[in-house]
Amino acid sequence: MTSSAIIGIAAGLVIALSTIFPALAQGKAAKAAMESIARQPDAAKDIRSALILSLALMEALTIYGLLVAFMLIGKI
Amino acid sequence: MEKEVGAVEESPVVLPLFGFLDVTGEVVTMILIVVFTAVVSLLARRLLRERPGKVQNVLEMAVESLEGFFAGLLGPEKARRHFGYLGALFVFIVLCNYSGLMPGVGVFDWLKAPSASLSVTAALGVATFLFLQAAALLSGVGDYFRRFVSPMFFMLPLVLLDEVIKPVSLSLRLYGNIFGEEMVVRQLYGIFPVGPPILMMALSLLFCALQAVVYTLLVSLYLDEATEPLEPRPRKQRKTKTLAQSLEGGLK
């Protein structure tokens, strides 16, 4: 296997793994937020801002993966 | 000079200026954004009336809702105090992100979305770092230095690391989001030029605003954490008695 093939596989793996797990976590967070909004509609505003913050922090992990994948692609 | 790796590309110089002040497309776009905001605010100030017109209504509503957003996070007093930096940061980042959606931006070398370049977001990160340190120092010098060793002295390296990581993660997050979006739009355009890129651009209308909200949200959370007065350290019971106490004890 040439080194560029290895780099290609690595870039694919990076973006795949760093999408799968934050996506699962974001699903969990959104589920919990929706449940608590349904239980307590008055608190929807606070819950929404906390949800957006936590989603953004999880999204950052995916973005780091994306950047690393781009860097790897650039090395081919 | 050899080409840098993928993500960290050099952008072509459009206006050479002594070599170290070279103007790139991002800088031109940022200057345009700054001029635009300055002109709009000057015009709005000129048009201030007792009975607000359209422009004044819209701008007043924008400023008030922005201040309400920060007041919800920091409390009204701190929000008022730091509104200059936080509001300017928000407006600048929103305009930087949206500038990538204007037709022509990103196609020519002269105009490029500034926040899709790591240098710009890193500069924003450095400015935010300085702002946070200054705000923390101004809110209390003693607290500033005690915060580094706050629960225990061995927290010092962790807190120092945290201070450095904050701006780095802020700038990487903004850069990665905007750059990633641009790349996705470009790839989609390469695959199928008509339908999908528009969908992605419509989504990025949402994401651009969201990224600015997230950036300022995080900055104000860090600010709240950094300027909150520490609770006074619990005094340890002194083992050595004071002179008066020992005298009393001796007399009894």
The DSSP H or E segment spanning B14 is strand B13-15
Q: Counting beta carbons within 10 angstroms of the beta carbon of residue B38, is it exposed (0 to 12), middle (13 to 18) or buried (19 or more)? A: exposed
Q: Counting beta carbons within 10 angstroms of the beta carbon of residue B246, is it exposed (0 to 12), middle (13 to 18) or buried (19 or more)? A: exposed
Q: Is B187 on the interface with A (CB under 8 A)?
A: no
- Amino acid (1-letter code) at residue A41: P
The C-alpha of A61 sits at a distance from chain B's nearest C-alpha, in angstroms, of: 9
pLDDT of residue B185: 81
Low-confidence ranges of chain B (pLDDT < 50): 1-8
Could you tell me if B132 and B226 are in contact, meaning their C-beta atoms sit under 8 angstroms apart? yes
CB pair distance less than 8 Å for B217 and A73: no
Give the integer Cα–Cα distance in Å for B112 and B99: 8
A interface test, pick of B8, B70, B173 with most A CB neighbours within 10 Å: B173
CB pair distance less than 8 Å for B180 and A63: yes
Instruction: Tell me the two tokens of residue B136.
Output: 């923390």
CB pair distance less than 8 Å for A66 and B172: no
B101 CB neighbour count, 10 Å cutoff: 17
* Chain A positions in Cβ-Cβ contact with residue B213 (cut-off 8 Å): 52
Of B5, B169, B172, which has the smallest distance from its Cβ to A74's Cβ?
Answer: B5
| Nearest residue in chain B measured CA to CA from A15 | B180
Low-confidence ranges of chain A (pLDDT < 50): none
Could you tell me if B114 and B120 are in contact, meaning their C-beta atoms sit under 8 angstroms apart? yes
pLDDT of residue A27: 95
Give the integer Cα–Cα distance in Å for B86 and A47: 23
CB pair distance less than 8 Å for B172 and A64: yes
* Chain B positions in Cβ-Cβ contact with residue A49 (cut-off 8 Å): 72, 217
Give the integer Cα–Cα distance in Å for B147 and B133: 12
The C-alpha of A11 sits at a distance from chain B's nearest C-alpha, in angstroms, of: 12
* Chain A positions in Cβ-Cβ contact with residue B173 (cut-off 8 Å): 56, 59-60, 63
Instruction: Tell me the two tokens of residue B154.
Output: 């061995």
For B51-70, how does the pLDDT look when each residue is reduced to its tens digit (9 = 90+)?
A: 777 878 888 888 889 888 88
Q: Is A71 on the interface with B (CB under 8 A)?
A: yes
Instruction: Tell me the two tokens of residue B141.
Output: 């010098």
pLDDT of residue B238: 52
Size of interface A-B (CB pairs under 8 A): 53
pLDDT of residue B3: 40
